[in-house]
Chain A
Amino acid sequence: MWDTVFPYLLSGISVGGQYALIAIGYTMVYGILRLINFAHGDVFMVAGIVMVYIAASGVPLWLSIPLVLIITALVGFLIERVAYKPLRSAPRMSVMISAIGVSYTLQNLVLYVTGGLNKQYPTIPWVSETIVLGAAKTKLVTVVTPILVIILVAALVTLINKTKIGMAMRAVSKDFETSQLMGIKINSVISATFVIGSFLAGVGSLLYFTNYSTVIQTSGAMPGLKAFVAAVFGGIGSIPGAVIGAFLIGIMENIIKGLDVILFKSGVITKPLGLATFSDAFTFALLIIILVVKPTGLFGEAATDKV
């Protein structure tokens, strides 16, 4: 039984970690701007495409990885400056529509550049090596992902709770105007939030595409949506919530993918039921259930109006 479940659990943890890295970007931006940044999944996809082209141009790998991360962070920064900052005092709905516009713009830009073809993701050595863990045969990236996620989240939480910029972020997330009276440049703080979120999505893309091996302009949509559900599940605005939500969704999704096999091997069913088809549907059904039963998510704070 355990031997059957274990490989699915393992890949669930891995995918969950990748979702977590994207979900942090959603939750941080929401925390500070009360905006669902619909373009975030596409930033993740752009990171993948940028990696494809950088590797193809012959840049050595040790240089291409930091380069991808820097470019991704820059893309996040530019999106905020161009599409969200001019709408700072506009109704929230306008900013959200702008975000949807950015999402389609990025997808179409990539469509234009790639011609709509699946691009082969470069093989990153070491993490692409196959390893055998008990009953599971997997790429090393599966094990690296959760460890890297924990390290990055610990660093991020330290940044937010112990540094001056982190303190400014927490202040701005509660009260723009009073933050300005403290001398905080709120635009710099918001930019920093987008840079961090996009950087993490960049890390996530390195891990995710190493597993999935091809990138296309719509590659960001599904992981982006899943990460968004994870952020809502954990309580949007909360970083630990987003991370835990992402791991839970990743694990549950993969267990469902393997449910047929698990049930068959344990003798519960005699012919496959095709349950794997429902793994995506499950995630979105979960979103509906959360929104109905506990809209603030696992760790979200109750919505309090600013006074």
Chain B
Amino acid sequence: MTPQEMVERALELSTADGCVVLVDEESTANLRFAGNTLTTNGVARSSRLTVISIAGRGVGVVSRAAVRPEQLAAVVAAADATARDAQPAEDAGELVAGGPASASWDGPVTPTDIEVFRGFAPALGEAFASAEAGGRRLYGFAEHTLTTTFLGSSTGLRLRHDQPSGRLELNAKSADLKRSAWAGVATRDFTDVDVAALDAGLAQRLDWAKTRVDLPAGRYETLLPPTAVADLMVYLFWSAGARDALDGRSVFSKPGGGTRVGERIATLPVTLSSDPAAPGIGCAPFVTARSSSRESSVFDNGLPLSATDWIADGRLEALLQTRYSAGLSGLPVTPSVDNLIMKGPEGGRSLEEMIASTERGLLLTCLWYIRQVDPQTLLLTGLTRDGVYLVEHGEVVGEVNNFRFNESPVDLLGRLTEVGAPEQTLPREWGDYFTRAVMPPVRVPDFNMSTVSQAS
């Protein structure tokens, strides 16, 4: 049974008032390596059927993997029965009305497999040899995943999205593991990944680190590269739920009630946005929700997504909304989109140009183990990782110890003194869940390095 047939058959079988069916077909291949050698690898395929039945205001969601044709009726019946027994769902509403089917609806699913690394694996092997000869050790992970989602509904939706996702994380260390540098790239198919160039860049950073400068905790002028900015802004994005803001729980709550939408939160004219059609970081153009939560609603399945500004010219423009939460807040329906783009004023400089214009400051590589300390201010804590460099008179003069930081990305937006040229980047920490980001480097005049970390 094809995924499309499974959608149609499940919809036919449902006796509920309404029904949404999602089928996710996923294939993945990966290579993991450490110390210039392979550690683990694998290929896998999975298939998941999710049936969302609606009975009155009750909802039943049953999601099963590897469903065989003879099991389909039981899965649908279970979802229908759960819906009939369920408490009324607070987000209950009309299902999204159907329109034309996706142009690709009828096409077959073409899985990825280990052959996606046919050109990349030998290049990685050569990089291992080069690193070995240069006294470096390479660590990292390469993964390619293809997820195809079919969404059908009793209201006539027939939508399909094919999402290729790939990434290479490359970490070079000196032989004594005292010096470390990292680079990450997102890719759709690994044909555009230049391992040798990445390794060369890391070798340069390891050279920078041969001069060691110990600095104490304190506030420093700091240059954050795009990957570090991505990790902070993705956290901000995930924390931008409208319902939490309305309930007074988040940094986007207005004292006394309501949300901070419309309020200026960045001094510079910063824009934070998402766009399903953004070049190179395209993502699903419609909502897929396999269960309801504070930021998603199963009733919104199939709702079209479009370019959305979350922050425009420094002002908070929108929060993550379902149709239900938009009704509560009186704000537009702005559901989450699976990419994030930050831009500053036109003409932003490259990171290299920003380094060249720095009198004295820190240059970070990336951030790690970022966790929320206080939701009211969105105070986050975390560590610097894989290279903190001291810049003096426009040049990197050595590597500094790592630090633990305590900072709020919202507060940072109000303190930025420079926003550089945006580029596609891979969030170091959140790359497992969020690979599609375009971010600029930024300059912070007083980044709070709370304590020194001995980690190297």
Q: Do A and B bind each other?
A: no
